[in-house]
Amino acid sequence: MATVYEATASAPVNIAVIKYWGKRDTKLILPTNSSLSVTLDQDHLRSTTTSRADPSFTEDRLWLNGKVDEITPGSRLATCIAEMKRLRKETVEDKDPNAPKLSTYKVHIASYNNFPTAAGLASSASGFAALVASLAQLYALPASPSTLSLIARQGSGSACRSLFGGFVAWEMGALPSGEDSLAVEIAPREHWPQMHALICVVSDDKKGTSSTSGMQRTVDTSPLLQHRIAHVVPQRMAAISDAIRARDFDTFARITMADSNQFHAVALDTEPPIFYMNDVSRAIIALIVEYNRLALAQGKGYKAAYTYDAGPNAVIYALEENIKEIAQLVTAYFPQRAGEFKDVLGLYGDAAK
Ligand code: 2P0
């Protein structure tokens, strides 16, 4: 019987605390600034991908949640598959003449997200990370997660950070080739298990401006982005990395909220302006600011940190001891959405209970 070449791997969603917004190279997906995220390393928020290589296959094919997804020549998907085949050839087949020539076989890939799109979470990060992880396993590549992140990055920028759990930086790099634009682990999840994340689904409408086109418009038109790139992000990357290593929630929260604010400020500074937050998003900010103000007045330091991506949904980072109180508070003010506030770094489910 012929050998079956098949592998399955999964990758989680991540939420940035220092935001990636802007590319200096749109083809290689090289960013204008470094970024840092927390991986929501939970069974409930993952993409799982199975890939199979077979000499009888006549073309590379992909199924997304059971539906055929075209692999357009020259697309990001085609690039990732081609790069993985190249890595197989160079690191395995060229070194071992007995290794099966899997890089010459076509692949069939099936990918599933176990979270609904309505959760308001981008699936491109976990999706491309799982694709790359699955092909790496199929091809038995001797590659580190950082090396694989170079390829996931070319699928979707934020995907490179989903190859690690815990606290992850995407270093922007300096080389035009992109060889040094990769993800590195700042600390594993176990370093700070008290860190939780509460997702507040404010709206499950599809966003008006895609990240890819929105960030390019910002690069082309926003003077504030230039200030952010040169004078803000480098300092914040260093300071928040130190805060994570020291488990200093107060500093972590301060920087996380400031960076979310500045990301939305550069969106507003874009021509024409981009609005991702809505009235409910802003009301949640006001609630968290007031909650923190009371905590600070009692000498306790910050207890919660909001962050918003390219949409209206809030993610609130908080330590485990405060997460229930925060979930109850948000639920009390926004009862119509109560079922959709999930503690996604702790127990997935109704966090207010
Ligand atoms: C981030 N976002 O750091 C930022 C914050 C959205 C706001 O990464 O064009 O979908 O595929 O590289 O990765 C969204 O950008 O864009 C994003 P592409 P991507 O998580």
Dihedral over Cα of 9, 12, 13, 17: its sign: negative
Closest CA to 306 of 253, 233, 249: 253
What number is the average pLDDT over the span 119-133?
A: 86
pLDDT tens track for 100-124? 999 999 999 999 998 766 556 767 8
Q: What is the per-residue pLDDT for 281?
A: 94
Q: How high does pLDDT run on average in the chain? A: 93
Q: What is the per-residue pLDDT for 119?
A: 57
- In the structure encoding, which two tokens stand for residue 352, read together? 């207010």
Q: What is the per-residue pLDDT for 342?
A: 67
What one-character DSSP code corresponds to residue 350? B
| 284-308 burial code (b ≥16 CB/10 A, e <16) | bbebbeebbeebeeeeeebbbbbbb
What one-character DSSP code corresponds to residue 3? P
Distance 110 CA to ligand 1 centre (A): 23
Q: Is 315 in the pocket of ligand 1 (CB under 6 A)?
A: no
Closest C-alpha residue for ligand 1 atom 8 = 158
Q: What is the 3-state secondary structure (H, E, C) of 241-275?
A: HHHHHCCCHHHHHHHHHHHHHHHHHHHHCCCCCCC
Q: What is the per-residue pLDDT for 229?
A: 98
What one-character DSSP code corresponds to residue 168? E
Pocket test for ligand 1, best of 153, 158, 212, 261 (most atoms within 8 A of CB): 158
Phi/psi at 288 (nearest 5 deg)? -70, -40
What number is the average pLDDT over the span 139-168?
A: 97
Q: DSSP readout, 105-122?
A: SEEEEEEEESS-GGG---
The yes-or-no verdict on residue 303 having pLDDT over 90 is: yes
The yes-or-no verdict on residue 321 having pLDDT over 90 is: yes
Q: What is the per-residue pLDDT for 120?
A: 61
The yes-or-no verdict on residue 18 having pLDDT over 80 is: yes
Q: What is the per-residue pLDDT for 348?
A: 41
Q: What is the per-residue pLDDT for 343?
A: 64
pLDDT band at 347; cut points 50, 70, 90: very low
Distance 20 CA to ligand 1 centre (A): 6
What number is the average pLDDT over the span 276-304?
A: 96
d(CA 332, CA 327): 9
pLDDT band at 3; cut points 50, 70, 90: very high
What number is the average pLDDT over the span 255-281?
A: 97
Q: What is the per-residue pLDDT for 334?
A: 85
Q: What percent of the chain has pLDDT above 70? A: 92
- The closest-lying atom of ligand 1 relative to the alpha carbon of residue 20 is 3
Distance 26 CA to ligand 1 centre (A): 13
pLDDT tens track for 178-217? 999 999 999 999 999 999 999 888 877 766 789 999 999 9
Closest C-alpha residue for ligand 1 atom 7 = 309
Residue 347 near residue 320 (C-beta atoms within 8 A) = no
Q: What is the per-residue pLDDT for 40?
A: 87
Distance 210 CA to ligand 1 centre (A): 9
* pTM across the whole model: 0.95
Pocket test for ligand 1, best of 15, 17, 18, 20 (most atoms within 8 A of CB): 20
Sequence-separated (6 or more) residues with CB below 8 Å from residue 298: none
- In the structure encoding, which two tokens stand for residue 28, read together? 């290689």
- The closest-lying atom of ligand 1 relative to the alpha carbon of residue 309 is 7
The yes-or-no verdict on residue 353 having pLDDT over 60 is: no
What number is the average pLDDT over the span 161-181?
A: 97
What number is the average pLDDT over the span 2-23?
A: 96
The yes-or-no verdict on residue 140 having pLDDT over 90 is: yes
Indicate the length of the chain as a whole number.
Answer: 353
What number is the average pLDDT over the span 27-46?
A: 92
Q: Is 168 in the pocket of ligand 1 (CB under 6 A)?
A: no
d(CA 39, CA 14): 4
Q: What is the per-residue pLDDT for 341?
A: 66
pLDDT tens track for 332-344? 998 776 666 666 6
